[in-house]
Every structure is written in structure tokens, then in C-alpha cells.
Amino acid sequence: MEPSIPTAASGLRVPRNDSGSVEPPPLGGWTPRARVSVVVPAFGGQDKLDLTLAALAAQTYPSELLEVVVVDDGSEPPLRLPQLAPEGTRLVPNTEGAWGIAAAVDAGISASTGEVVLRLDSDVIPAAGHVEAHARWHRLADYFTVVGKLAFADIEASALDPEGVRSAVARGEAPSLFAGREVSADWEIALVRESGGTVEDPVRAFTIANGATISFTRAMYEASGGMDTGMRLGSDTELGYRLAQHGALFIADAEAEVWHLGYSQMKSRRNDGKRYRHAYMANRVPPLRHLRTRPGAQWEVPYAQVVIDAEAARLEPVRAAAAAVLGGTIADVEVVLTGPWPDLTDDRVAPLEDPLLDLRLIRETFRGDARVRFAERAPEGTGPVPFRLFLAPGAVLRPDGLANLAALADGRRLGRVETAVPSRVGPLAVRLDRTAALARAERLRRDGESLDAALEALWGTAAVEPDAYFGESPKPAGAAPRRSLLRRGLGRVKRVLKR
């Protein structure tokens, strides 16, 4: 029997974020099998919630495969379930002691049972095929994240009634509910609007994530770590970023239509909303470089993790490689020095005859730096840090070397960049990996296929010459040598003294 959601081995294998290359089954032209949980966080607004549930009661998706979980985030008076709602609708409270949309969404997902999760706002009216439009993509692969098309309608909930909403949606005439009202027509998401309705940019694709209408598999949600319940605003974009870091591909579906009743806070108080979100996003989402503007600042999630193997190395080349990273133009980095650190004991040993002398000196040199971590082995798997650079001791980056390597990877949308730095002991290997690309490759590699081969097929790799990234920075054109400038300065001093 065909699985309701394909596994990585049987699902579509899509490179980068080439969502335009995927053709979903037409609405009404396929057989649903997966159970879908619609999670609706709500705080007050009973009148709008009633309309949302009425529209969900008219969905084309099979009712036996649909459940709706409404999460009451501490409303006063408490929310209630109206008579007009899908059969499998439940009302649950937010987690005890928690509050906010992120916590409510997480509580709703925990209480739900579906293989696919569709997160929906409590003040929207979805079209009849909304749930079906989302679910059809997850029938193709388990790593897709789907965002529906949100429109804003200048209408109050009091102008509509639940039975009228259910009837219009069931007839496929949801737009008639807003006749004579101002309704936005184009995509509200700039990235989707600019690209003509698709999402092709693999670096920025995660930014389309929003809470009004987004779906993903439960497996992807759990793998990514779920909602950051400490974020009161902007948690959906942050979740989108971590889904991307675990190999998600993002899809914008214009047929997954939904209308927002009135204007959202992000439209009515855009600047205030941005101000709030930016502080939280800057700490958690490194690719949003425009939010990290304080020179030399460190953030909760680094932009790059630099791994240097110190196990059999001398102090000097490790110090040179690490110091160049820490002194570079990108300050939000973490340096991971790998080696047998537990072997460094306080047992008596002649200091200069210590067999672990260099390892001890390396630890002492960097143990006070908050950006340096000591580990026995290199980090594995994925995580929130977008880039991981493996650097051989003695490979000394230019001040802007790391920034330029990352810019090359972003500019050419590469999953890996490799080079070799010449030295007296031979070429020093360097490798920059995009962790989101590694996650996709690990998820989709076939039996017997190496991770490197899958990475090349799904994201692409490149080998480059090291000169633009390693060694001394080139002097500006026309700049005088340092010694010449010093001599000129001394000459001026002597001339002044003779006067």
C-alpha cells in the first residue's frame, strides 16, 4: 500500500529550492490518505473564530482525515466551540504557565495526531480547497513546507454570519463574502511577489514562513525542535529558518487561498512590529545580516562555526588560524578546537617535557575567549548555524576571507566550497559547508550514495583558488610600503627640529 507521506527514499528529490519544478496533483484529482491536523491558536475573538471554524466545516478534504485543534491562550471569557465546526474539532488550553502564539501552537501540535500539521490563524476564512491544497504537496515528499496565499479583506466579523460563510465556501464562492470591500489581490509576501508566485531562492526561501497559513509534516516539526516558545512575535519565521536548516523545501501555493478579516498588526503597526521582531530575530537567525549591525557583537546563534583540529598540531599554526578567524570582519563566529582535552590532567610533569605541551598551550591561549569551544571531536549533523568551516592549522584567513567565502557560497547558491592553502608542509585543506544543504543531502541520499555525491547533486559544490581568501590582504592600489611611510614621517620630524 502506498504510504500516506513518502519517506525520503521514495519521495521526490528536489535540488536547492526549485519548487517550480514540482507539479502537484490538481485539486480534486487525487486520493488523500494522510491525516491533517489544523492547529488554530486563539486569544479572544470568539466572533472571528466562529467564522474560521465555519469555513473549515466546508473543506473538500475528507472529514475522516481532518481534525481541528483550537488552543485557547488564556481568553477571558474562555473560548467555546460553536455548533458549526468540523466534526473532529477540539478545544484545548495552552500549556500551563505558558502564553503567546508560539506556545499555543506548540501545545496544539502536541495535542494533535495528524501526520501533516496546518497552522492557521483564528481570524481568517479559508477557501474550500485550502486544506486539500496544502495536503497534496505532502503526498509528494516529507520535507516540504507549504505557505498559502493570504489576502486582507477590509471587513468586520459582524458583517458576516457562520452559516453564510459555510455556505459560500462550500459553493466555492468565498470571494463573494467580500463583495464591495477592499481586498488585497497580490501576494503579501514580497519574495513570492517578486518571483512571480514561486520560491526559487534557496538562501532566502525560509523568509516566506508565516503563521496565517503554513503546513509541514509532524516529523519535520519535531526534527527542527518545534516552536521557540520564548518568542512572542516572529516565531513563525524563526521556525521556518530551523525547518530550512533541517532540509526543508519551501513552496508557495496560490490555490491555498485564505482571507484575513481586517488588517493584521503587521499592517496596522508595521514599524512597531518590526522593532519588536528584529531584536529577537537578530539573536536567532544569522542569515538576516541586516539585523546584525553592531560592530564586534556576538549573538546567540553564530553565523559560522569554524573547526580546527588541534590534536597533533603545534601551538603556533593553531593560534595563527584561530586568531585570524576571531579577528576577521565577521565577529559572530564560534571556533571549535578539537583534541583529546580530557587527557590534560594536573598530574606532575616537567613543564617543558610535557608530551601534551602544545595541546596544553593551545588550551591556555584560548580558554578565556567566549567564542572558542573545546571539543573532543568535530560537530556533526545540522543545527541553527548556517555555515561550518573546517580549517587546517596554519591556514590563515584574510580579515574578510570568511565573509568572502560565505558570499561566494551564497552568490552561487553552493552547498560546499573547498580550497587548499599552500604551505611548507604541503597543501592545507579547507572546506566550507552549508549546514542546510548537508541536512537535505543526508535526508535524501539514496542507498549506497555518499553524502558528498548527494550534496553535489542537490546543492552543488565548487573548488576555488585560495588567494582571494587566505594570506595577507592585498594593499590598496598606490599605497606606499609601511617602511617608506615611516621614513617619511621621521624625515618630517627632523625638518621640524632643525627649524
Per-residue pLDDT tens for 101-135? Answer: 999 999 999 999 999 999 999 999 999 999 999 99
On the CB side of 65, CA atoms within 13 Å amount to 18
Separation of CA 232 from chain center: 17
- Give how far Cα 449 sits from Cα of 135, 245, 368, 454, Å: 30, 21, 42, 7
pLDDT digits (tens, 9 = 90+) for 19-50: 999 999 999 999 999 999 999 999 999 999 99
Buried b (16+ CB within 10 A) or exposed e, 16-41: bbebeeeebeebeeeebebbbbbbbb
Q: What is the mean pLDDT of residues 353-382?
A: 93
The pLDDT of residue 271 is 83
Q: What is the mean pLDDT of residues 312-333?
A: 96
Sign of CA dihedral 221, 222, 227, 228: negative
Of the candidates 95, 82, 269, 106, the one whose C-alpha atom is nearest the C-alpha of residue 166 is 82
Q: What is the mean pLDDT of residues 322-333?
A: 96
Whether the pLDDT of residue 364 is over 60: the answer is yes
Can you identify the CATH homologous superfamily of domain 304-463? Spore Coat Polysaccharide Biosynthesis Protein SpsA; Chain A (3.90.550.10)
- Give how far Cα 178 sits from Cα of 1, 85, 157, 161, 209, Å: 44, 21, 11, 13, 26
The pLDDT of residue 469 is 97
Least confident window among 304-318, 354-368, 481-495: 481-495
Q: What is the rounded distance in angstroms from the CA atom of residue 63 to the CA atom of residue 43?
A: 26
pLDDT digits (tens, 9 = 90+) for 217-259: 999 999 999 999 988 888 999 999 999 999 999 999 999 999 9
Can you identify the CATH homologous superfamily of domain 19-285? Spore Coat Polysaccharide Biosynthesis Protein SpsA; Chain A (3.90.550.10)
The pLDDT of residue 411 is 96
The pLDDT of residue 488 is 45
Which amino acid type is present at position 471?
A: G
The pLDDT of residue 480 is 46
Whether the pLDDT of residue 200 is over 80: the answer is yes
Identify the bridge partners of residue 215 per DSSP, sorted by sequence position.
118, 146
Quote the pTM value.
0.90
Buried b (16+ CB within 10 A) or exposed e, 92-117: bbbbeebebbbbbbbbbbebbebbbb
The pLDDT of residue 249 is 97
Q: What is the mean pLDDT of residues 453-474?
A: 91
Whether the pLDDT of residue 264 is over 90: the answer is no
pLDDT band at residue 268 using 50, 70 and 90 as cut-offs:
low
Q: What is the rounded distance in angstroms from the CA atom of residue 325 to the CA atom of residue 311?
A: 19
The pLDDT of residue 499 is 45
Across the chain, what does the average pLDDT equal?
91
Least confident window among 52-66, 164-178, 288-302: 288-302
Whether the pLDDT of residue 334 is over 60: the answer is yes
The pLDDT of residue 282 is 87
* Domain boundary assignment for the chain: 19-285, 304-463
Q: Do domains 19-285 and 304-463 have the same CATH topology?
A: yes
Q: What is the rounded distance in angstroms from the CA atom of residue 287 to the CA atom of residue 202?
A: 12
Pairing of β 387-391 and β 428-434: antiparallel
